[in-house]
Each structure stands twice: as structure tokens, then as C-alpha cells.
């Protein structure tokens, strides 16, 4: 396996709108990030993935771009961005920018032109179809609700939008579109950035003819993923991107790829032939959803440890020495990790540390989402009017109006699943608005628990989640086995403990994680022969006199041994 800096890095994801507001308008901004670089350096991360900061009318908080070569007014200026990049590089932190090129804003000049007339030179930058039987061209649902097609009154044709109607899908079949994208990528790369996170990059190739999706529900529109995820020309388009752009730079590229299996992921990230460094897979993000629901975020069910083990192990072994995994439990689209996979009540601290142990000891590049390092939790806003996310608002409407749920029941699901769980402001200290902003009302409310969950409290407590992350990151820098070691699941049938080993050139680690709020008996398998076991890290004090092969793990206990 080749050794590269991006395999050895730990990435920290910033959602700029919610990170730090430097000028009191209630919206996080680039200067706010600059102010906090020393904090991130203390944490020890190597790379920052910055969610979109480009010009945008903010229908989907920057994932609807109207100018790829300028900065969102609320966030700052291009000069401010240059200063931020320099500030990162001075501290040895690399910058990965978000690349959103499956779609543009409907306010992007290309689309403004395209909708002027059917023979406009930009018309073919997007995907247009006439009505079929007086209705939409096909039955695809938008991922954010309703039809994936919007009628353009002027021309009488529909345009395709997999997300909101203000996020118009680009026509990647058009070589001019690809050339434009490659050019804007070079523009940023030549400014010295260190890579891209590519938004829904496996959705850029649609099934030719755009056929109807199979009817799986009574809804008017059907999930069309079959016809736009991992489509027939994705690899070809990305190979071209690699040839013409990516291969010319030493960068980290991570594709956001909902609906990929390990075979797709290997094709995308194969050491020799793949176009990308790694991808985000989503299987473990669907563990707590009803597969029949119209959106994974419109339903909830308890998740099973056995399923988490099965999924993660399949990815660990599947990509093994051929591709490369990215490891994450949350991001700006997901609930908070400690609320979803841990316990955000009594065992918040212990379980947050256990989850951190999990992500840092899997094979792959770990991603930390802002606030995860202090154990920030989900929020339960009392009213739908407190929510801001366009997807959340649409799901609420659909659940209440089309599925007949009471507003209380709908809110209850969104308390667990809303993307706004991840988007409440970063909790810096116990002052008003958690030290995020001096505004009386930030763009979204802070989580009321900021008085005790905040950075300043974490920095003052040597036993905090923050310092545990710091230690994990240091350990990963010092122990190549954490990065490159071969993964093997052990004790697969244990109902509470997730146990695995990592092995590299005669070195071996044993990772034991009690994913439960009760004690669990750990009896190591006889086949696991070792003569000594040194504790590398753990989230509880050692228990003197304990048997080395058979012992009780405490609630949410995590331990890692170096085996001799």
C-alpha cells in the first residue's frame, strides 16, 4: 500500500455559517474561522474541509452556487479567504474546499442565460425536457421532496433538479460543462488549496433517456436513485477529470457518494486506476431509518450493533489494500454522533470518547465534524419555526400534509434526524449565544446545553473529550499501524462489544468497545495469543488486579491494547 499524507491525516470539517461569527451579524464567517485556527492547531488536525463558501443565494446554505469564483457576501471576501488559507498553511493545516458541481444555483449566470430561450448557447448546460402527457417528463422525486422537475413557463419545458428547484442539475453529457468545471477547479487549485470534497459526485451521470423509476410507494413521485446514482458515465467523467486536472496536483479528493457499494468505491479509489483518494459511503447512516420511508430523515428506528459491525467490517475488508476509506459518524447533514450512536445523557462523555476511539482506529482517514470534539449533542427545538434547513422544513410539511402525522410526531422524528442538529452554532463558552456571536439572535438558535458543553470548559478539564481527541490524533501520527494496519473483526457475535484488531508488520493492536450503557463481559478468544498487553488509550481508569483474558467492561468503555 502506498503511503500518502492524506491517508495519515485527520480531517476537521467546518460548516462556516455555524462556526464563529466575527462581526456580530449572527452568521459565522471566514474571519471567525481565522480566529479559531490556533484552537484547531491545539487539537492537532492536519486538514480542514470547508463547506461551501462561494457566492450563493443560500437556498441550501451554499450548496446552491451562483458564482464559483467569489466568496459569499456574508462570509467575507476573496482577500479574506486568501488570508485564511495563508493562516492555515502557516500552521501546517491543509485546506480542502467543497466542490458542488452536480448542480448550480438557478441564479448562476449559466442558468440565467439558459432559461432565456431554447436556442441560447447555455441551454444545453442543463437538462431540459418537454412535458409528458401534460405532466413532468418522468416520475422522479426530488431528494428534498416533490417532483425533480420544474416547469419553466417561458419555454414550456421542464428542467431537472435532484435537490431544490433552485439547485439545477448540470448536463455533464455536454463536454463544455465538463471543461467549465475543470477550469474552475484549476482556478482554485492554482491558488494553493489542497483538495476537494466533491458533493454528490456519483450523481453526475443519469441513465440515458431518463426513464421512470420503479413505483415503490403510493406517492406521486418515486425515488429515482437507480437512474442517477453511479450512472453509466460517472467513471469516464471522473477519469477525464483525473487526467486533465487532479493528476497534476498532490491533493486529497473525497467524493460524497450516497448509494455506493464497495465495488463502486473500489472503482473510484483504486490505488492505481481510481480517480479519487476516497469516498464517503452512507450505509451506516441508514441504520436507524425505515427503508420504506420517503426519506431516511423522515423516519427513525433503533439501530443494531450487529449491523454496524457488518457494514463497517465489509467496508474495511472490501477496500482493504485496494482502495481507501473515509471514516465518519456525522457531518453537516447528519444528527450529532453522540446522540445517535452513543448516549447524550448520563454517559455522554464516555460514549463520545468511545466513538472517537472507533473512528480513529478504523482503517481510513478519520473526519471530525465541528463540535464533535467537545461532545455536542442533538437539539430538540420546540417549534418547526425554529428550524432553518430546507430539507427539514419540506419533510415536516410532507409528513403532516401528505402522511397525516401530527405536528408533534413529525417534530419528534426531526428531533432525531434533522440536519439542523449539526448546524446549531459551535459552543465556544458559557456566555450568551455560546460565544458564537454577539448578535442577539444568531441565524439559528444555539443548543441550550451550551452552558456546560463548550470549548472553554473542555479546555479547562484535562479529562475532557477534547483532550481525548487530541491524544488520539497524536497517537495516529506516531503509530503507522493505526493508519495502515490490516483490520480484522473479532468476537463478531458479541451483543455489546465491538472488537477488532489492526496489524502491520508484526505490530498488533486490539480495540475493545462496549457499545452499551451496561457492563459487558469481555472474554478474549483463545486464538488471540499474546504475552503482554500495554494500554495505548482508554476512557476509564485501569482496574487493578483484573484478569487479562476475561474482564468486565464498564458502560461505554473503550480500550486499546498494543499486543506483545
Residues 244, 236: contact at Cβ < 8 Å?
Answer: no
Of positions 10, 143, 352, 354, contacts ligand TEU by CB under 6 A:
143
Q: Please, which residues have CB within 8 angstroms of residue 182's CB and are 6 or more apart in sequence?
A: 240, 241, 244, 245
Q: Please, which residues have CB within 8 angstroms of residue 157's CB and are 6 or more apart in sequence?
A: 118, 128, 129, 130, 131, 151
CA distances from 78 to 28, 72, 83, 156, 182 (A): 16, 9, 9, 39, 20
- 25 near Ca ion, rule: CB under 5 A: yes
Instruction: Pinpoint the alpha helices (H) of 30-129.
Output: 30-35, 37-43, 78-90, 109-114
199 is catalytic: yes
Nearest to ligand TEU of 74, 288 (CB atom): 288
Nearest to ligand TEU of 57, 480 (CB atom): 57
Q: And the C-alpha cell for 169?
A: 442539475
- 367 near ligand TEU, rule: CB under 6 A: no
Q: Quick one: which H or E segment has residue 7?
A: helix 5-8
- Phi, psi dihedral angles at 139 (to 5 degrees): -95, 15
- Phi, psi dihedral angles at 80 (to 5 degrees): -65, -35
- 282 near ligand TEU, rule: CB under 6 A: yes
Q: Quick one: which H or E segment has residue 470?
A: helix 465-478
| 479 Cα distance to chain centroid | 26
d(CA 362, CA 318): 13
Smallest distance, Ca ion to C-beta of residue 35, A: 11
- 258 near ligand TEU, rule: CB under 6 A: yes
Smallest distance, ligand TEU to C-beta of residue 331, A: 7
Which 8-state DSSP code applies to residue 6? H
Smallest distance, ligand TEU to C-beta of residue 315, A: 17
Which stretch in 28-36, 177-185, 196-204, 250-258 sits in contact with Ca ion by CB under 5 A? 28-36
Q: How many residues make contact with Ca ion (CB under 5 A)?
A: 5
Tell me if residue 497 falls in helix, strand or coil.
strand
- 540 near ligand TEU, rule: CB under 6 A: no
Tell me if residue 149 falls in helix, strand or coil.
strand
Which 8-state DSSP code applies to residue 159? E
- 296 near ligand TEU, rule: CB under 6 A: yes
Smallest distance, Ca ion to C-beta of residue 1, A: 43
Burial classification of residue 508, based on how many CB atoms lie within 10 Å of its CB (0-12 exposed, 13-18 middle, 19 or more buried): buried
Residues 514, 553: contact at Cβ < 8 Å?
Answer: yes
Q: Residue with the closest Cβ to ligand TEU?
A: 63
Smallest distance, ligand TEU to C-beta of residue 55, A: 15
Q: Quick one: which H or E segment has residue 178?
A: helix 175-189
Q: With CB cut-offs between 5 and 8 Å by kind, which of ligand TEU, Ca ion, none does residue 29 bind? A: Ca ion
Q: Which residue of the set 60, 157, 194, 256 is catalytic? A: 256
Pairing of strands 54-55, 67-71: antiparallel
Q: Quick one: which H or E segment has residue 523?
A: strand 520-523
Q: And the C-alpha cell for 287?
A: 441504520
Q: With CB cut-offs between 5 and 8 Å by kind, which of ligand TEU, Ca ion, none does residue 23 bind? A: Ca ion
- 21 near Ca ion, rule: CB under 5 A: yes
CA distances from 478 to 163, 174, 320 (A): 43, 47, 21
- 343 near ligand TEU, rule: CB under 6 A: no
Q: With CB cut-offs between 5 and 8 Å by kind, which of ligand TEU, Ca ion, none does residue 296 bind? A: ligand TEU
CA distances from 361 to 295, 473, 513 (A): 31, 10, 11
124 is catalytic: no
- 140 near ligand TEU, rule: CB under 6 A: no
| 293 Cα distance to chain centroid | 21
Smallest distance, Ca ion to C-beta of residue 428, A: 14
Q: With CB cut-offs between 5 and 8 Å by kind, which of ligand TEU, Ca ion, none does residue 21 bind? A: Ca ion
Nearest to ligand TEU of 199, 288 (CB atom): 199
Which 8-state DSSP code applies to residue 51? P
Smallest distance, Ca ion to C-beta of residue 86, A: 20
- 145 near ligand TEU, rule: CB under 6 A: no
Overall size of the chain counted in residues:
564
Nearest to ligand TEU of 26, 335 (CB atom): 335
Of positions 12, 18, 19, 29, contacts Ca ion by CB under 5 A:
29
Q: With CB cut-offs between 5 and 8 Å by kind, which of ligand TEU, Ca ion, none does residue 333 bind? A: ligand TEU
- 398 near ligand TEU, rule: CB under 6 A: no
According to DSSP, the residues that pair with 514 across neighbouring strands are 497
Nearest to ligand TEU of 7, 166 (CB atom): 166
- 370 near ligand TEU, rule: CB under 6 A: no
Residues 23-62 close enough to bind ligand TEU by CB under 6 A: 60
- 27 near Ca ion, rule: CB under 5 A: yes
Q: Quick one: which H or E segment has residue 152?
A: strand 149-152
Q: And the C-alpha cell for 357?
A: 476511539
Half-sphere exposure of 366 (CA within 13 A, CB side): 24
**Interface mask (CB under 6 A) for ligand TEU, residues 174-203, using x and -?**
-------------------------xx---
Smallest distance, ligand TEU to C-beta of residue 380, A: 21
Nearest to Ca ion of 29, 106 (CB atom): 29
Q: With CB cut-offs between 5 and 8 Å by kind, which of ligand TEU, Ca ion, none does residue 25 bind? A: Ca ion
**Interface mask (CB under 6 A) for ligand TEU, residues 74-113, using x and -?**
--------------------------x-------------
Of positions 4, 23, 77, 219, contacts Ca ion by CB under 5 A:
23
Tell me the catalytic residues: 199, 256
Interacting residues toward Ca ion by CB under 5 A? 21, 23, 25, 27, 29
Interacting residues toward ligand TEU by CB under 6 A? 60, 63, 100, 143, 163, 199-200, 256, 258, 282, 295-296, 332-333
Amino acid at each position: 500500500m502506498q503511503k500518502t499524507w492524506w491517508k495519515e491525516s485527520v480531517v476537521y470539517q467546518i460548516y462556516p455559517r455555524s462556526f464563529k461569527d466575527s462581526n456580530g451579524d449572527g452568521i459565522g464567517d471566514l474571519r471567525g474561522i481565522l480566529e479559531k485556527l490556533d484552537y484547531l492547531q491545539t487539537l492537532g488536525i492536519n486538514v480542514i474541509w470547508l463547506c461551501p463558501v462561494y457566492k450563493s443565494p443560500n437556498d441550501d446554505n451554499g450548496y446552491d452556487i451562483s458564482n464559483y469564483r467569489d466568496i459569499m457576501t456574508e462570509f467575507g471576501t476573496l482577500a479574506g479567504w486568501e488570508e485564511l488559507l495563508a493562516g492555515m498553511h502557516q500552521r501546517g493545516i491543509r485546506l480542502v474546499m467543497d466542490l458542488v458541481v452536480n448542480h448550480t444555483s438557478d441564479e448562476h449566470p449559466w442558468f440565467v442565460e439558459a432559461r432565456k430561450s431554447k436556442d441560447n448557447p447555455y441551454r444545453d448546460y442543463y437538462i431540459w425536457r418537454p412535458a409528458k402527457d401534460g405532466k413532468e417528463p418522468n416520475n422522479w422525486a426530488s431528494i428534498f421532496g416533490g417532483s425533480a422537475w420544474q416547469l419553466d413557463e417561458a419555454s414550456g419545458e421542464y428542467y431537472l433538479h435532484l435537490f431544490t428547484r433552485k439547485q439545477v442539475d448540470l448536463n455533464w453529457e455536454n463536454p463544455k460543462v465538463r471543461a467549465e468545471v475543470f477550469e474552475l477547479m484549476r482556478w482554485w487549485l492554482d491558488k494553493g488549496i489542497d483538495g476537494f470534497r466533491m458533493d454528490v459526485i456519483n450523481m453526475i451521470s443519469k441513465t440515458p433517456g431518463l426513464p421512470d423509476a420503479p413505483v415503490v410507494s403510493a406517492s406521486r413521485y418515486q425515488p429515482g436513485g437507480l437512474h442517477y446514482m453511479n450512472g453509466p458515465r460517472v467513471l469516464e467523467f471522473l477519469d477525464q477529470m483525473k487526467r486533465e486536472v487532479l493528476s497534476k496536483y498532490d491533493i486529497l479528493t473525497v467524493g460524497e457518494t450516497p448509494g455506493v457499494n464497495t465495488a463502486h468505491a473500489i472503482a473510484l479509489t483504486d490505488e492505481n486506476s481510481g480517480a479519487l483518494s476516497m469516498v464517503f459511503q452512507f450505509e451506516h447512516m441508514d441504520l436507524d431509518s425505515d427503508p420504506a420511508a420517503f426519506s431516511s430523515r423522515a423516519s427513525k428506528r433503533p439501530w443494531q450493533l450487529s449491523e454496524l459491525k457488518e457494514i463497517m467490517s465489509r467496508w474495511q475488508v472490501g477496500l482493504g489494500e485496494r482502495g481507501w476509506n473515509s471514516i465518519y459518524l456525522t457531518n453537516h447533514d447528519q444528527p450529532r454522533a453522540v446522540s445517535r450512536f452513543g448516549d447524550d445523557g448520563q454517559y455522554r462523555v464516555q460514549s463520545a470518547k468511545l466513538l472517537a476511539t472507533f473512528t480513529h482506529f478504523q482503517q481510513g482517514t478519520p473526519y471530525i465534524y465541528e463540535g464533535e470534539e467537545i461532545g455536542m449533542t442533538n437539539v430538540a427545538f420546540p417549534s418547526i419555526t425554529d428550524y432553518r434547513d430546507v430539507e427539514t422544513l419540506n419533510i415536516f410539511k410532507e409528513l403532516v400534509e401528505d402522511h397525516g402525522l401530527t405536528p408533534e410526531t413529525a417534530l419528534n422524528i426531526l428531533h432525531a434526524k434533522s440536519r439542523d442538529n449539526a448546524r446549531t452554532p459551535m459552543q465556544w463558552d458559557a456566555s450568551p449565544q455560546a460565544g458564537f456571536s454577539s448578535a442577539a439572535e444568531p441565524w439559528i438558535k444555539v443548543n441550550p446545553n451550551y452552558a456546560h458543553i463548550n470549548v472553554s470548559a473542555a479546555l479547562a478539564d484535562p479529562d475532557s473529550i477534547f483532550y481525548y481527541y487530541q491524544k488520539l490524533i497524536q497517537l495516529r501520527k506516531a503509530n503507522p499501524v493505526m493508519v495502515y494496519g490490516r483490520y480484522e473483526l473479532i468476537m463478531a457475535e458479541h451483543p455489546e462489544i465491538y472488537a477488532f484488531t489492526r496489524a502491520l508488520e508484526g505490530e498488533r493492536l486490539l480495540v475493545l468497545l462496549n457499545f452499551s450503557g451496561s457492563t459487558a463481559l469481555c472474554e478474549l478468544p483463545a486464538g488471540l495469543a499474546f504475552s503482554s498487553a500495554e494500554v495505548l488509550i482508554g476512557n476509564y481508569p485501569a482496574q487493578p488486579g483484573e484478569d487479562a483474558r476475561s474482564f468486565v467492561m464498564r458502560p461505554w468503555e473503550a480500550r486499546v491494547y498494543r499486543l506483545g
